[in-house]
Amino acid sequence: MKPLTFAFTLIFAAGLASAAAAQKTATPPLHAESASSINMTTAADGEQTLVIRNVSYELSGTAVPGLAPDARLLLRNTTSSKEVVGDIGVDSTVTLEAWPLGQDLAQKPLYSLTVNGGDGHTVDNALFVVAHDLNDDNPWWSAYKLATGQHLFDTYAPLLSFSIARDTVKTRYVGLEAPGDDVKDARLKQPNVVAVLTYASEEKVIREALLTCDDTGKATQLRSFADESRTLSLVEDPSQPTKTLKLYFSANYPSAPAPVEVRIPVRNDDLDLAHAQLPPKLHLSAWKR
């Protein structure tokens, strides 16, 4: 009888443990409503103003970098815009609010992020990317950590992402920031500066590199928003162990393209600046904000 009693005790204890675990992980009922809206008003002079508010909810996956492996976030994404019908330009903001799954949305969120922008979306269950100046010829993007809402970097070329490993997913992100006239960092106001290249994981910036040109007139052309287009891409050769980033500049119409190409190997999870391939008079060096 003792072996049977011992077995029953084990089964009973296991049952209690399972029930306790189920009770601990059970998610309480959740209900929330957020209204989207559209309003248009007409002034005495006939000018029409359109105000739009769109709200959407999203559930993150597990394994959000920076959170517990099984944690999920409930996200509320609100885009608000105001424009005068027929005029160029839209004033818009994107607000992201994040709660741990199961928390009442009436409580204060884990974080709230509000930035100027026309669109915001999650990327790879790791980042929240906001697009700015969508109605402009030169849009740009900001990347934020999904776990905390912390700003990671800005890019004036579409965000590039790729895995540095072949046997698993180990994603890295690349952006390019071309300094405008209103840039605050005095170092980026130098006439030979072209752009800052950023190489990052989902949790931190790993490397920044400053691209400069000895020909200040050429530097002005390459960093121009109105006159130049910039793209980032990845060049892979299956026979080679390293990947290569390609930064490509091209003058906008009606100017001749006059392409400029910079290639930077990615080695040991870093930018191999020493072996970068650059046209004459262009230089690439390590840089830090």
DSSP labels, 62-117:
S--TTS-TT--EEEEEEEEEEEETTSS--EEEEEEEEEETTS-TTSPPSEEEEEE-
Per-residue pLDDT tens over the stretch 133-144: 755 667 899 999
pLDDT of residue 60: 97
For residue 30, what are its two tokens? 């959740």
pLDDT value, residue 18: 40
* SS3 call for 35: coil
In this model, does residue 227 exceed pLDDT 80?
A: yes
Position 33 scores a pLDDT of: 78
The H-or-E segment that residue 216 falls in is helix 216-223
| Sheet bearing 260-266, strands edge to edge | 228-235, 243-251, 260-266
Contact between 129 and 120 under an 8 Å Cβ cutoff? The reply is: yes
With H, G, I as helix, E, B as strand and everything else as coil, classify residue 141.
strand
Q: What spatial distance separates the first Cα and last Cα of the chain, rounded to whole Å?
A: 73
Tell me: the pLDDT tens digits for 36-50? 999 999 999 989 999
pLDDT beyond 70 at 6: no
pTM value is: 0.86
What contacts 212, CB < 8 A, 6 or more positions away? 190, 192, 193, 194, 219, 282, 283, 284, 285
Q: What is the pLDDT of residue 20?
A: 37
Q: Identify the DSSP state of 256.
A: -
Q: What is the pLDDT of residues 178-222, one digit of tens each?
A: 998 888 999 999 999 999 999 999 999 999 999 999 999 999 999
Q: Is 53 helix (H, G, I), strand (E, B) or coil?
A: strand
Question: What is the pLDDT of the chain when averaged over all its residues?
Answer: 88
Residue 254 preceded by cis peptide, ω within 30: yes
- CA 45/CA 41 separation, integer angstroms: 11
